[in-house]
Structure 1
Amino acid sequence: MIKVVVLGSGSIVPTQNRFATSIYIDAGVDKFLLDCGPGTIERMRRAKINAWKIGQILLSHFHIDHTADLLPFIKLRAYNEEGKIAINPPTLKIYGPIGLMSFIEHAINQNKYLRYLSDIIGYLRYVELYEMDENLIKEQGDLKISCKKVKHESGIMYRLDIKDKVIVYSGDTAFNPEIAVFANNADLLIHECSCPKQSMIGEHTSEVDLSEIISLAKPKRVIITHLYPVWNGLEEELVRKISDKHKCRIYVAHDMLEINL
């Protein structure tokens, strides 16, 4: 069984039920986060998810609503659960688009206020960084990680092949029919739907775009996430607009939504 917990299902604008992006996946031996937006660590605590068991963090892009808790998470792992300095911290693998190395270099090593994470804590003792591109597939045990470029600030989406299950995570993206090929017949498609068509902003996906992706990809289940406050109170309408056309199970995410595959 694979457990999926949507820790953060909204945007940078908090609402009662949603805040910035982060998704936890527990596949037994493999436990990881998809993005690490602000509030991730606290919501993990509330969900009783052990931060020291996380093996990988997969970043879709570098916007602050997807990465704000990354440096706190890196520092957290230098300590044990009793708050003492860890002698041998558990390895944390961080994956991201091309530019990940530069992002971390500027955030830590070239920042005189945060350089202590390198000079004193020595984060590279336990953090491994991997830049992903479309030609690279990372495999370890029963997990295979691949990615595809999306239309959003040099971002990528991820495909996770875990034993006989496939999970695809869009990150942030404008409509792109190639997503459907990448997500074809996925057991779970986690896809953004930031705003309704008539009020779309930036490089994002509307409910009309998402319906088209689902038509082409034919996933078994869909979690709709990255929802701006404009969707508050319209969740049932959103489900109806999409489920009337498709037979797959549709979930409109809220923080702490949990499903099992």
Structure 2
Amino acid sequence: MTDISPPIAVTILGSGTCVPSLRRSSCAVLMETGGKKLLFDAGAGTLRRMLECGVSIFDISCIFFSHFHPDHTAELVPFLFASKYSEQGPRKTPLTLIAGKGFSAFHQTLKQAYGTWIELDPGILSIVEMNTQGPDHLDFDLFSVNTRPAAHNPESISYRIASPSGYSVVYSGDTDYTDDLVTLAADTQVLICECSHPDEEKVRGHLTPSLAGNIAAAAGVKKLVLTHFYPRCDGFDIEKECRKTYNGELVLAEDLMRL
């Protein structure tokens, strides 16, 4: 039988926000490509959702952070703490943390608070800071990463992950409308895009369904996946609002959804 699975497999671990919800954990996305498991953001509930997918902290080789807000970074400390004090012993495989400029200082403040509890063995943890003023690029063995600034916080960036075949997935992180995201998402197979509030309740630094649709349409996105829903979205027809501007394949994310 022919394997028709995409070169980059995506699981939505958390489709929610900072507001506690039984339905939606805070932001987190798992991507699997080239034999690697990559985590994008790690808000509250991420580690439990990973276990529900059969994924261990030791399976993750890289964590990509869109910005430093707690609903995107809150479980970094538990991740590192568990990596050091697991029942199977401390982590022995490399872990790379990737984020916008300023992340090393952010990580240092966590170490000041938690000390050696979150310090892994020498040579295990590495940090890569990406440019927040313009485009940037990283090459890995079996995938590549492109980033552009996001319109949210000074450190905010969006990511495009691409396989050698050219198949790509874009993760917006939190952002307002920006041409940088249109450029980054050009002709991508999947755009995982924040959609915090309905059209009628636009908030600065975040997108609405029709604005997310505008970005996807302008970029020629094949599949748009809306995520990062505040509870208020439950009272609105998010799909209908997005259809004002986007006619392609549309998915409203739920926790543990596989794409």
TM-score (norm 1): 0.89
Q: Which residue is 2:137 aligned to?
A: 137
CA displacement at 1:39 relative to structure 2: 1.0
Aligned residues of 1:21 and 1:66 also touching (Cα < 8 A): yes
| Aligned residue number for residue 149 of structure 1 | 149
User: Percent identity over the alignment?
Assistant: 27
Relative to structure 1, the CA distance from residue 123 to residue 198 in structure 2 (aligned partners, 3 Å threshold; closer, same or farther) is farther
What runs of 5+ residues in structure 1 fail to find an aligned partner? none
Displacement of 1:224 after TM fit? 0.3
Mapping of 1:116-195 within 5 angstroms? 116-117=116-117, 121-133=119-131, 134-154=134-154, 155-164=156-165, 165-195=167-197
**How far apart, in 2, do the equivalents of 1:49 and 1:122 lie?**
20
In structure 2, C-alpha distance between the alignment counterparts of 1:240 and 1:123, rounded to whole Å: 50
Measured against aligned partners, the alpha-carbon deviations of 1:60-101 in whole angstroms (never above 9, x if no partner) come to 000000000011111222245xx1323x61111000000010
Partner of residue 89, structure 2: 85
Pair 14,178 (structure 1): closer, same or farther in 2 beyond 3 Å: same
User: Is the contact between residue 137 and residue 146 of structure 1 (CA under 8 Å) also seen in structure 2?
Assistant: yes
Question: Does 1:52 find its partner at 2:54?
Answer: no
AA of the residue aligned to 1:30: K
TM-score normalised by the chain length of structure 2: 0.90
Q: Secondary structure at the match of 1:115?
A: helix
User: Which residue of 2 is the match for residue 37 of structure 1?
Assistant: 43
User: How far did residue 245 of structure 1 move?
Assistant: 4.6
Cα distance in structure 2, aligned partners of 1:131 and 1:124: 19
Gaps of 5+ in 2: 1-5
AA in 2 matched with 1:51 = I
Kindly tell me the number of residue pairs found equivalent between the two proteins. Answer: 249
What SS class does the counterpart of residue 55 from structure 1 fall into? strand
Deviations 1:104-133 (A, max 9, x none): 01111x22xx11236xx5455411100011
Residues 1:18 and 2:21 are matched in the alignment = no
Residues 170-205 of structure 1: CA distance to partner in whole angstroms, max 9, x if unpaired? 100011133111110101000001001221233101
Instruction: State which drifts further: 71-80 or 28-37.
Output: 71-80
The one-letter code of the counterpart of 2:174 is D
Query: Structure 1: which 4+ aligned runs deviate by more than 3 Å?
Result: 121-125, 243-247
**Over residues 42-69 of structure 1, what are the superposed CA-to-partner deviations in whole Å (9 max), with x where a residue is unaligned?**
1111121132111100000000000000
1:227-242 correspondence runs (5 A):
227-234=229-236, 237-242=237-242
What is the aligned partner in structure 2 of residue 9 from structure 1? Answer: 15
Q: What residue identity is the alignment partner of 1:84?
A: Q
For 1:105, the aligned partner's letter is Q
What is the CA–CA distance in structure 1 between the aligned matches of 2:215 and 2:257, rounded to whole Å?
A: 22
The aligned residue for residue 200 of structure 1 is: 202
For the residues of structure 2 that align with 1:224 and 1:122, how far apart are their CA atoms? 35
Change (3 A) 1:233 1:49: farther
